[in-house]
């Protein structure tokens, strides 16, 4: 039986990004409790959470390749996870206003049957415009921010709040496609032909 690719994530954004690579996959959501202590090193956090998701699914589907991913936002060595409510989302946007922050994504690939394990971390930088209260309220009215690290999504009305970014756009959205493609190819799940991916 050919090994399948399973995405251990409920994120619709990751599903959309992975589909851009033209690979068949199924979604199996990992039933785990993620580590989200704001003072944790963001690299440690995303690596831990990505592995936690991938290993939970891989243990239940040992013949399949599993991709776990976790993304967070970091400003001044302080992690900004998903806001609990609109008040916290508003506070996050105020903190990010006029500043440059980092976006980290951890990738964890597992196949339990052959002890296949690869871990990667991608980082990008995002610079925010200076936001006044009117812009913050407009953005919150247009975008559902409660399921997004840092309380924003660069791909949704980003022109209101984003000045510029450096690095992988797909990483900022939630799944670095260059790194993902490399591992898919190494695992034999993707032909070694050019695939157009976002910068």
C-beta separation of 192 from 198 below 8 A: no
Instruction: Using DSSP bridges, classify how beta strands 116-128 and 162-166 pair: parallel, antiparallel or unpaired.
Output: antiparallel
Quick one: pLDDT at residue 199?
45
* Residue-wise pLDDT tens digits, 120-149: 999 999 999 999 999 999 999 999 999 999
Quick one: pLDDT at residue 1?
59
Residue 197 has pLDDT above 60, yes or no: no
* Euclidean distance between CA atoms 51 and 195, whole angstroms: 26
**Which candidate, 109, 11, 106, 6, places its Cα nearest to that of 50?**
106
* Euclidean distance between CA atoms 169 and 166, whole angstroms: 8
Per-domain residue ranges of the chain: 5-186
Residue 64: active-site member: no
- The single residue of 70, 76, 85, 178 carrying the catalytic annotation is 70
Fold assignment, 5-186: Maf protein (3.90.950)
**Who's near 185: CB < 8 A, 6+ residues apart?**
191, 192
**Percentage with pLDDT > 90 across the chain:** 83
Residue 105 has pLDDT above 90, yes or no: yes
Average the pLDDT over 146-154 and give the result: 94
**Percentage with pLDDT > 70 across the chain:** 95
How many other CB atoms sit within 10 Å of the CB of residue 131? 18
pTM over 0.85: yes
Quick one: pLDDT at residue 50?
97
Quick one: pLDDT at residue 101?
98
Average the pLDDT over 93-122 and give the result: 96
Residue 21 has pLDDT above 90, yes or no: yes
């Amino acid at each position: 039986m050919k090994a399948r690719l399973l995405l251990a994530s409920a994120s619709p954004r990751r599903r959309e990004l992975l589909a851009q690579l033209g690979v068949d996959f199924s979604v199996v959501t990992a039933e785990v409790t993620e580590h989200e202590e704001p003072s944790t090193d963001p690299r440690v956090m995303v690596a831990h959470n990505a592995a936690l998701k991938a290993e939970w699914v891989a243990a239940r589907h040992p013949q399949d390749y599993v991709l776990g991913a976790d993304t967070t936002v970091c400003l001044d060595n302080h992690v900004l996870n998903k806001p609990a409510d609109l008040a916290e989302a508003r506070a996050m946007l105020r903190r990010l206003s006029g500043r440059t922050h980092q976006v980290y994504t951890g990738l964890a690939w597992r196949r339990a049957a052959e002890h296949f394990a690869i871990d990667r971390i991608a980082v990008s930088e995002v610079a925010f415009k200076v936001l006044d209260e009117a812009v913050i309220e407009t953005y919150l009215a247009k975008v559902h921010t409660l399921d997004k690290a840092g309380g924003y999504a660069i791909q949704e009305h980003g022109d209101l709040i984003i000045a510029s970014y450096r690095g992988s756009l797909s990483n900022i959205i939630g799944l670095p496609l260059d790194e993902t493609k490399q591992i898919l190819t190494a695992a034999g799940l993707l032909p070694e032909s050019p695939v157009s991916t976002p910068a």
